[in-house]
Structure 1
């Protein structure tokens, strides 16, 4: 079963953000856009490049009213230790959520149970708490924050403009489509 248009299941987790430990739950998602960015583990190889890329683009996500949640099965203590020891991870201002109980990884169906880590899963959640975008990458394939920004903008556009859809490669300001019987076979 697809997670698209399903509501994020209840959860409570501890995150490391800006020098503090904070509590995060599904209630924090209501009324704003969110991105859950699952990655396998702290102190690894592809993960810091992805998280650093998100950090470099965080201000753009914030301008769109989007909060980023970086999530791994590590603890919030491990996130702090990594943040304190890595120049790339030091740039991160978004919450780094610990999921040592695997609750979030199971809820979003990205847990690799035999390894105790999460797949590289990206989930865009709308202000009603419903998942609008799901993307899962194999462990060796890093993601691109600019492409994620484009997808978030498209999801926000479609959400704000019922009856319109964004075609392939759509960028903010490009033409959209209004599906109707008159459009069938014309594209």
Structure 2
């Protein structure tokens, strides 16, 4: 069964954010748009390029009222050590969730059981705690924060404009569609 339109499961975990350790739970995410980006492990290769790309776009997400959370099965202590040693991760101002119990990775169905690592999973969650966008792919394929930003804008648009949908390659300000009998076979 797909996780689309399901509520996020309860969780509570330790995290690293801007030089501090904090606790984050499913309740923390409620009331605002959130993105959770799972990655395999700290101190690896593709992961810092993705987290840096998110860091470079973080202000744009914030302007949309969206909070970013990265997550791996590492501890919050490992996240701090990584931020202390990597120029790419030093740029990260969003919350880095630790998941050493692998609860989050299991909840979001991205855990590679035999490795104890997460797949590259991206989840856009609405203020009610419903998963509206998910993308999971092989760990050798890095993601693009600008494409994620486009998807978040589309999800927010659809949420605030009932009866409208966003076509392929839609960008903010472009035309949307209003599904109806009149459109069938005309697109």
* TM, length-normalised to structure 1: 0.99
1:138 aligns with 2:138: yes
Name the counterpart of 1:89: 89
Query: Which residue number in structure 2 is paired with residue 51 of structure 1?
Result: 51
Question: Displaced runs of 4+ in structure 1, greater than 2 A?
Answer: none
CA distance in structure 2 between the aligned counterparts of 1:5 and 1:37, rounded to whole angstroms: 17
Contiguous gaps of at least 5 residues in structure 1:
none
Rounded to whole Å, the distance in 2 between the matches of 1:76 and 1:30 is: 22
Aligned to 2:16: 16
Give the whole-Å Cα distance in 2 for the aligned partners of 1:113 and 1:21: 27
Q: 2: distance between equivalents of 1:87 and 1:6? A: 37
CA distance in 1, matches of 2:64, 2:8: 20
In the alignment of these two chains, the number of paired residues is: 187
Deviation at 1:137, TM superposition (A): 1.6
Instruction: Give me the TM-score of the superposition, normalised by structure 2.
Output: 0.99
Is 1:125 matched up with 2:135? no
Q: Which residue of 1 aligns with 2:62?
A: 62
Matches within 5 A, 1:30-179: 30-179=30-179
Unaligned 5+ segments in structure 2 are: none
2-side partners of 1:78 and 1:7: how far apart?
A: 29
Q: Deviations over 1:38-78 (max 9, x none)?
A: 00000000000000000000000000000000000000000
Question: RMSD in angstroms over aligned alpha carbons?
Answer: 0.4
1:26 alignment partner in structure 2: 26
Name the SS for the 1:36 alignment partner.
Answer: strand
CA distance in 2 between partners of 1:65 and 1:137 (Å): 26
